[in-house]
A and B are shown apart, each in its own frame.
Chain A
Amino acid sequence: AQSVTQLDSQVPVFEEAPVELRCNYSSSVSVYLFWYVQYPNQGLQLLLKYLSGSTLVKGINGFEAEFNKSQTSFHLRKPSVHISDTAEYFCAVSDPSGGFKTIFGAGTRLFVKA
């Protein structure tokens, strides 16, 4: 069965510094990949998704992610974070062999410090 591992449960970073949130998934078959953001007491919101094509995907709020098939990774990056980026970030995978059910990672809490 497909699984998603977010390697860091918490990432503290100073404002205007770059950040990378790591995500690895287990299956090497073709999958669809997503990053969602959840602000406190709110639902999840899509940041970006990879379906096919270019391995570098750009999303909202200046975030981007790179799909690496050989390493089964989909790491999220932002070159300069703001205080307002403080939130929980979830990586998710949709696997056709699993009936396209979306599997979420455990989340990474990004904490941006002034």
Chain B
Amino acid sequence: DAMVIQNPRYQVTQFGKPVTLSCSQTLNHNVMYWYQQKSSQAPKLLFHYYDKDFNNEADTPDNFQSRRPNTSFCFLDIRSPGLGDAAMYLCATSRDFQGMNEQFFGPGTRLTVL
């Protein structure tokens, strides 16, 4: 089955220690998104890639970076995690950025910051 895979499912890091979250897709979609979701809140878009074009949301902190080395993979780097960065991180894909295309989500990575 075509799908969106996130690794690891659970990640524990220490305050200030860089961490990388991974996402891969077998859907061959053009767009990949990273969302941050805190408890009982809506997913908050951090950034997205349309193919190789990176699009950052205006309110995404500089502490968050992303890489998309090829169509299938996308990484979220948190350079110096703070306690407030503890959250579920969701990766999603869509065929195109036009709004009629639904997004396909991975299972998420739950990040704990000690």
Residues of A at the B interface (CB closer than 8 Å) are 9, 31-32, 34, 36, 41-46, 49, 51, 90, 94-96, 100-102, 104-107, 109
Contact partners of B4 in chain A: CB under 8 A: 43
Contact partners of A102 in chain B: CB under 8 A: 45, 99, 103
CB atoms of B102 and A34 under 8 A apart: yes
CB atoms of B106 and A43 under 8 A apart: yes
CB atoms of A94 and B100 under 8 A apart: yes
CB 8 Å contact bits of B74-113 with A (1 = contact, 0 = none): 0000000000000000101000011110111111101000
Please measure, in the bound complex, the distance between the C-alpha atom of A43 and the C-alpha atom of B102, giving whole angstroms.
14
CB atoms of B99 and A95 under 8 A apart: yes
**Within the complex, what minimum Cβ distance (angstroms) separates B68 from chain A?**
19
Please measure, in the bound complex, the distance between the C-alpha atom of A102 and the C-alpha atom of B105, giving whole angstroms.
14
Contact partners of B8 in chain A: CB under 8 A: none
Of A44, A100, A106, the contact of B97 (CB 8 Å cutoff): A100
Contact partners of A43 in chain B: CB under 8 A: 4, 6, 90, 92, 105-108
Q: Which residue of the partner chain A has the closest CB to B98?
A: A100
The yes or no answer to B70 lying at the interface (CB within 8 A) is no
CB atoms of B99 and A44 under 8 A apart: no
**Within the complex, what minimum Cβ distance (angstroms) separates B55 from chain A?**
9
Please measure, in the bound complex, the distance between the C-alpha atom of A107 and the C-alpha atom of B40, giving whole angstroms.
7
Please measure, in the bound complex, the distance between the C-alpha atom of A49 and the C-alpha atom of B100, giving whole angstroms.
9
CB 8 Å contact bits of B1-37 with A (1 = contact, 0 = none): 0001010000000000000000000000000000000
CB atoms of B105 and A94 under 8 A apart: no
CB atoms of B107 and A94 under 8 A apart: no
CB atoms of B41 and A44 under 8 A apart: no
**Within the complex, what minimum Cβ distance (angstroms) separates A81 from chain B?**
21
Q: Which 7 A-B pairs have the closest CB atoms?
A: A94-B99, A43-B105, A100-B99, A104-B42, A44-B105, A32-B99, A46-B102
Contact partners of A95 in chain B: CB under 8 A: 99
Contact partners of A32 in chain B: CB under 8 A: 99-100
**Within the complex, what minimum Cβ distance (angstroms) separates B76 from chain A?**
14
**Within the complex, what minimum Cβ distance (angstroms) separates B77 from chain A?**
20
Q: Which of A90, A96, A104, A105 has the most CB of B within 10 A?
A: A104
